[in-house]
């Protein structure tokens, strides 16, 4: 063993995967190894380093202080090696990128735009994860970049503005006529479609109104997916509040109409997030530049 450098590359990879995924099962799945292989590699690494890296007491584990120090070093070293490989081996952007996005944005907008990007970058492989729980995936390196409407202020993350997210209150023409909706208070007796039973989803609409004009909606229909909520509104099941980009086609066809066009719900904001340590990688730069070039009119802004 080289006493000047007691670390084995493959053992470090196993340890990094363990630290990032938070479980031996997750590390094994990421590296296509068995759990026992991960455990053995980490044990060998501890023996070489002469310190305990993982506290295995109880049903799970936690990294020791020394383990946390080594994990941070692993992330820096392997990112540096990836950047060097880009320079030496791949003069153009190449490799794999894993992009995370919210479900409706991914379905409505993102998928329409990625074919030209991949055509321009044939050496890049791009995979997608659509979910509403994006930040944990980014922090565990299960995705490389995320497009998220949440505000995250972690010092290890780079945040790039993408677009403003406007919202619209809409329903079918028959629904609007049947309920005689002329103002916000007219929504109070109507069935309201919401991602949650308490109607918290409608806070952007309510915040845009004076307090005395805010309707007390009693008929809330919970639908846990925006696309399903849109289809329900087209069928006349209720009124909905959604990002404008998600119903541009339905409104162009007349399947949905604005119920209260004079009211502009509070806007959201989408950002691209990535770890600062990876932001300078060529493939990251290519993707972020492309995403920022998409016309905001596509988003209903």
DSSP string, 22-74: SSHHHHHHHHT--HHHHHHHHHHHHHHHTS--EE--SSS-EE-HHHHHHHHHH
- Domain 93-164+268-299 matches domain 167-258 at the CATH topology level: yes
Fold of 9-87: Arc Repressor Mutant, subunit A (1.10.10)
Q: What are the pLDDT digits (tens) for 206-223?
A: 999 999 999 999 899 999
CATH code linked to domain 93-164+268-299: 3.40.190.10
Q: What are the pLDDT digits (tens) for 265-287?
A: 999 899 999 999 889 888 899 99
Q: Which residues pair with 220 in a beta bridge?
A: 192
- Confirm if 207 and 266 have CB atoms less than 8 A apart: yes
Q: What are the pLDDT digits (tens) for 220-231?
A: 999 999 999 999
pLDDT at 93: 63
CA angle, 185 then 187 then 188, to 5°: 75
For the question of whether the overall pTM of this predicted structure is more than 0.85, the answer is: no
CATH code linked to domain 167-258: 3.40.190.10
pLDDT at 71: 84
Give the C-alpha distances (Å, rounded to integers) separating 215 from 189, 197, 202, 233, 243. 9, 16, 11, 19, 20
- Spell out the domain ranges in the chain: 9-87, 93-164+268-299, 167-258
- Interhelix angle 111-120/282-293, nearest 10 degrees: 130
pLDDT band at 21 (very low <50, low <70, confident <90, very high): confident
């Amino acid at each position: 063993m080289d006493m000047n450098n007691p670390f084995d590359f493959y053992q470090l990879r196993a340890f990094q995967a363990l630290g990032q995924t938070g479980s031996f099962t997750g590390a094994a799945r990421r590296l296509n190894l068995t759990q026992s292989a991960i455990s053995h590699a980490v044990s060998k690494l501890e023996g070489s380093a002469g310190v305990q890296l993982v506290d295995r007491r109880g049903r799970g584990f936690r990294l020791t202080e020394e383990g946390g120090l080594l994990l941070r070093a692993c992330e820096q070293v392997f990112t540096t090696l990836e950047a060097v490989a880009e320079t030496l081996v791949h003069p153009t952007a190449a490799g794999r990128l894993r992009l995370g996005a919210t479900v409706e944005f991914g379905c409505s907008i993102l998928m329409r735009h990625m074919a030209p990007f991949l055509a321009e970058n044939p050496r890049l492989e791009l995979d997608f994860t659509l979910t509403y729980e994006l930040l944990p995936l980014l922090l565990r390196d299960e995705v490389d970049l995320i497009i998220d409407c949440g505000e995250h202020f972690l010092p290890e993350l780079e945040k790039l503005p993408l677009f403003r997210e406007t919202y619209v209150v809409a329903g079918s023409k028959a629904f609007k006529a049947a309920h005689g909706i002329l103002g916000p208070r007219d929504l109070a007796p109507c069935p309201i479609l919401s991602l949650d039973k308490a109607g918290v989803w409608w806070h952007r609409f309510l915040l845009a109104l004076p307090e005395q004009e805010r309707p007390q909606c009693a008929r809330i229909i919970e639908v846990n997916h925006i696309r399903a909520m849109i289809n329900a509104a087209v069928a006349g099941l209720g009124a909905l509040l959604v990002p404008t980009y998600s119903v541009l086609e339905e409104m162009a066809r007349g399947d949905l109409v604005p119920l209260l066009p004079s009211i502009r719900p509070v806007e959201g904001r989408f950002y691209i997030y990535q770890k600062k340590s990876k932001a300078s990688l060529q493939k990251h730069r290519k993707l972020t530049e492309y995403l920022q070039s998409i016309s905001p009119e596509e988003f209903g802004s």
